[in-house]
């Protein structure tokens, strides 16, 4: 929205003009204050007054053992428990039961135009003289605007509250070896992370926080990473340890990082406010989810499956109006990574004070397709399909003169 500095709340072209709201003088204690200039209050975020300080508990223990003269192995357990984490929750959600009651009354009275439905949380209904001021618990406070057919609160009111928690457990193994010109470091992690909310915008179920407990958005079950470097013995091909031939063959090193991992969790949602809650995030609001039959999912290779299908969709069905859906919002993972980054490096000493450094670096050197997560929108025709991938192979060359 385009505004002027002298009138920051007034839109230049099409927006409303609520007037200049500053400087604002706070009301004194126990005095009545007219909030008319601020109504209707909608789609705002406030802080809960009894929030506490978030904290985390970290615990780990490890064993390390030397194997032979040049190998070290470490096995460790690492865990973290987060308490009173900050999350976002809707404090003014629509009541599904109230909306269904209004629908039933409207049908019985033959007034289908008055039926409550998705997105109808902030509508005033009049059915045979029975008035419903929306379906939210705080739609009306002062009631000063009702004579104009308006509500005091018309929309979600977010609460930044310290209600969330998380738990992470992992087994971590490392193996390090160095033999002559070869250096190797391998690390494997088997872990699991669960939480109510993975970020401030990761909305939760406003009626029961426990229903939003699922895999963290960043959960990764398996993660294997290995790095290695090897000094190539090309200099042994030279007949002498000096001269231009030796300098051309000496100083070559190949390095690399290889990674095999599980993909990130797929976030499921069903847009359209079928829950009749009417939260701010009408697309991914933590409550509108498809129904899940409980049958195991089957997975396909996006390279060969029709339309890049990753997971089967027959186990999912539309949520029933006025319910939250039975699927967990995150309970399985998308395609994993199979990535090789490698580089060829050479250092050449020209004189005592000058040297030349050459690097050839390749990311995803084998150009193996690294897919992004499939579509988690149940209403999309591409539900379950992979529609994009990460960057393909990238190569770069560098030459640096040191003097």
- At 212, list the tokens: 């939003």
In this structure, how many other beta carbons lie within 10 angstroms of the beta carbon of residue 224? 16
Q: Pick out the chain residues at pLDDT < 70.
A: 1-24, 33-39, 239-240, 280-284
12 Cβ contact partners less than 8 Å away, ≥ 6 residues apart = 2, 3, 4
- At 186, list the tokens: 């391998």
363 Cβ contact partners less than 8 Å away, ≥ 6 residues apart = 341, 391, 393, 394, 395
The model carries a pTM of 0.81
Do 188 and 223 meet the contact criterion of CB atoms below 8 Å apart? yes
Give residue 270's pLDDT: 92
Q: What pLDDT digit, counting tens, does each position of 152-184 carry?
A: 777 788 888 999 999 999 999 999 998 888 999
Give residue 90's pLDDT: 87
Computed on alpha carbons and rounded to an integer, the radius of gyration of the chain in Å comes to 30
Do 370 and 389 meet the contact criterion of CB atoms below 8 Å apart? yes
SS3 of 103-145: the string is HHHHHHCCCHHHCCCCCCCCCEEEECCEEEECCCCCCCCCCCC
Give residue 342's pLDDT: 96
Give residue 283's pLDDT: 56
The residues facing 125 across adjacent strands are: 132
Give residue 233's pLDDT: 87
Give residue 366's pLDDT: 94
In this structure, how many other beta carbons lie within 10 angstroms of the beta carbon of residue 238? 16
Give residue 265's pLDDT: 96
Give residue 230's pLDDT: 94
Q: How far is Cα 103 from Cα 92, in angstroms, rounded to an integer?
A: 20
Give residue 3's pLDDT: 56
Do 329 and 268 meet the contact criterion of CB atoms below 8 Å apart? yes
Give residue 223's pLDDT: 97
């Amino acid at each position: 929205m385009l505004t002027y500095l002298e009138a920051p709340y007034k839109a230049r072209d099409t927006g409303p003009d609520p007037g200049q709201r500053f400087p604002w003088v706070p009301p004194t204690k126990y005095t009545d204050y007219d909030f008319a200039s601020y109504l209707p209050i909608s789609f705002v975020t406030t802080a809960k007054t009894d929030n506490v300080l978030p904290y985390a508990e970290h615990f780990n223990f490890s064993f390390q053992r030397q194997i032979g003269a040049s190998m070290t192995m470490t096995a460790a357990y690492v865990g973290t428990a987060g308490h009173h984490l900050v999350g976002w929750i809707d404090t003014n959600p629509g009541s599904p039961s109230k909306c269904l009651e209004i629908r039933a009354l409207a049908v019985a009275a033959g007034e289908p135009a008055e039926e409550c439905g998705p997105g109808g949380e902030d509508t005033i209904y009049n059915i045979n003289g029975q008035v419903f001021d929306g379906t939210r618990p705080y739609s009306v406070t002062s009631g000063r605007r009702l004579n104009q057919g308006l509500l005091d609160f018309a929309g979600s009111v977010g609460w930044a509250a310290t209600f969330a928690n998380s738990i992470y457990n992992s087994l971590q193994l490392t193996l390090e070896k160095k033999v002559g010109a070869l250096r190797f470091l391998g690390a494997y992690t088997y872990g699991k992370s669960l939480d109510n909310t993975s970020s401030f915008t990761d909305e939760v179920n406003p009626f029961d926080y426990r229903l939003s407990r699922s895999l963290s958005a960043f959960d990764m079950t398996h993660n294997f990473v290995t790095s290695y470097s090897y000094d190539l013995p090309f200099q042994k091909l030279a007949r002498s340890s000096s001269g231009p031939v030796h300098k051309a063959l000496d100083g070559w090193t190949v390095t690399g990082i290889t990674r095999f991992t599980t993909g990130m969790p797929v976030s499921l949602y069903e847009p359209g406010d079928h829950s009749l809650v009417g939260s701010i995030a009408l697309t991914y609001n933590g409550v509108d989810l498809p129904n899940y039959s409980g049958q195991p999912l089957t997975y396909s290779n996006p390279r060969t499956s029709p339309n890049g299908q990753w997971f089967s969709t027959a186990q999912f069905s539309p949520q029933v109006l006025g319910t939250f859906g039975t699927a967990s919002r995150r309970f399985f993972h998308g395609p994993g990574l199979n990535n090789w980054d490698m580089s060829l490096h050479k250092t050449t000493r020209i004189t005592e004070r000058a040297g030349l450094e050459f690097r050839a670096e390749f990311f995803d050197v084998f150009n193996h397709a690294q897919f992004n997560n499939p579509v988690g929108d149940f209403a999309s025709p591409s539900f379950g399909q992979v529609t994009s991938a990460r960057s393909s192979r990238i190569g770069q060359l560098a030459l640096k003169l040191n003097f």
